[in-house]
Structure 1
Amino acid sequence: MMDARIKFRHLQTFLEVARQRSVGKAADALSITQPAVTRTIRELEEVLDVALFEKDGRGIRITHFGEVFLKHAGESLAAVQRGMASLAQARKSEGPPVRIGTLPTASATFMPDAVAQFLASGTGSAVTIVSGENRALLDSLRLGALDLVVGRLGAADLMTGLFFEPLYSEEVAIVVGASHPLLARKSFTLNELAPFTVLMPTRGSVIRPLVDRLLLTNGIAELPNTIETVSDSFGRAYIARHDAVWIISRGIVSNDIASGRFAELKIDMSETRGAVGLTTQAGVEPNAALSLMKQTIRDHVNARAGRF
Structure 2
Amino acid sequence: MPTQLDWYLHLNLKTRHLRLLVMLDDLGSLKKVAEATHVTLPAVSRALAELERGLGLELFVRTSQGIRATEYGECLVRHARNILTDVQQVRDELNSLYNGSGGKINIGVYPASSSVLVPKALHLLKQRSPNTNAQVIEGTRPLLLPQLWEGKIDLIVGRLPAVPPSSGFDEKALLEERLVLVTGPQHPLAKRKHLQWSDLQTYPWVLPSPASQIREPFERILEMQGLEFPKNYIETMSVQIARSYLYGSDAISVLANTAARDKFQPLAVLPLALPPMLRATGIMWNRNRPFSAATELMMDCLEGAAEAIRETARSQANPVF
Q: Structure 2 CA distance, aligned partners of 1:195 and 1:108?
A: 29
CA deviations on 1:162-188 (whole Å, 9 max, x unpaired) are 222111222222101224233447332
1:119-268 mapped onto 2 (5 Å cutoff): 119-122=126-129, 124-156=131-163, 160-183=167-190, 184=192, 186-189=194-197, 191-220=198-227, 222-255=229-262, 261-268=266-273
SS in 1 for 2:262: helix
CA drift at 1:2 = 11
Length-normalised TM-score, structure 2: 0.69
Q: Assess if the C-alpha contact under 8 Å between 1:133 and 1:206 holds in 2.
A: no
**Structure-2 change in CA distance of 1:242 and 1:291 (3 Å):** same
Determine the structure 2 residue equivalent to 1:297.
302
**Structure-2 change in CA distance of 1:83 and 1:15 (3 Å):** farther
Residue 210 of structure 2 aligns with an amino acid whose one-letter code is R
Of 91, 115, 118, the match for 1:108: 115
CA drift at 1:200 = 0.4
CA deviations on 1:29-55 (whole Å, 9 max, x unpaired) are x968xxx9xxx9xx99x99999xxxxx
1:25-36 mapped onto 2 (5 Å cutoff): none
Q: Assess if the C-alpha contact under 8 Å between 2:112 and 2:238 holds in 1.
A: no
Equivalent residues, number: 280
Q: Assess if the C-alpha contact under 8 Å between 1:108 and 1:252 holds in 2.
A: yes
CA deviations on 1:66-111 (whole Å, 9 max, x unpaired) are 9999997765443232112223323423232111122344332233
CA drift at 1:16 = 6.2
Task: Give me the identity figure in percent.
Answer: 24
CA drift at 1:231 = 2.3
Max radius of gyration: which structure? Answer: 2
CA drift at 1:152 = 0.9
Q: Assess if the C-alpha contact under 8 Å between 1:194 and 1:225 holds in 2.
A: no
**Structure-2 change in CA distance of 1:212 and 1:174 (3 Å):** same
CA drift at 1:241 = 1.7
CA drift at 1:279 = 1.2
Residue 18 of structure 2 aligns with an amino acid whose one-letter code is F
CA drift at 1:238 = 1.7
CA deviations on 1:241-289 (whole Å, 9 max, x unpaired) are 2111122222211225xx8942212223123242111111222121112
Q: Structure 1 CA distance, aligned partners of 2:235 and 2:90?
A: 40
**Structure-2 change in CA distance of 1:122 and 1:167 (3 Å):** closer
Determine the structure 2 residue equivalent to 1:92.
99
1:51-66 mapped onto 2 (5 Å cutoff): none
**Structure-2 change in CA distance of 1:181 and 1:124 (3 Å):** closer
Unpaired segments ≥5 residues, structure 2: 1-5, 38-43, 60-72, 314-318
Determine the structure 1 residue equivalent to 2:68.
none
**Structure-2 change in CA distance of 1:15 and 1:263 (3 Å):** farther
Q: Assess if the C-alpha contact under 8 Å between 2:125 and 2:132 holds in 1.
A: no
Q: Assess if the C-alpha contact under 8 Å between 1:12 and 1:77 holds in 2.
A: no
**Structure-2 change in CA distance of 1:283 and 1:70 (3 Å):** farther
Q: Structure 2 CA distance, aligned partners of 1:201 and 1:268?
A: 18
Residue 167 of structure 1 aligns with an amino acid whose one-letter code is L
Q: Assess if the C-alpha contact under 8 Å between 1:98 and 1:147 holds in 2.
A: yes
Q: Structure 1 CA distance, aligned partners of 2:203 and 2:56?
A: 57
Determine the structure 2 residue equivalent to 1:57.
none
Q: Assess if the C-alpha contact under 8 Å between 2:115 and 2:240 holds in 1.
A: no
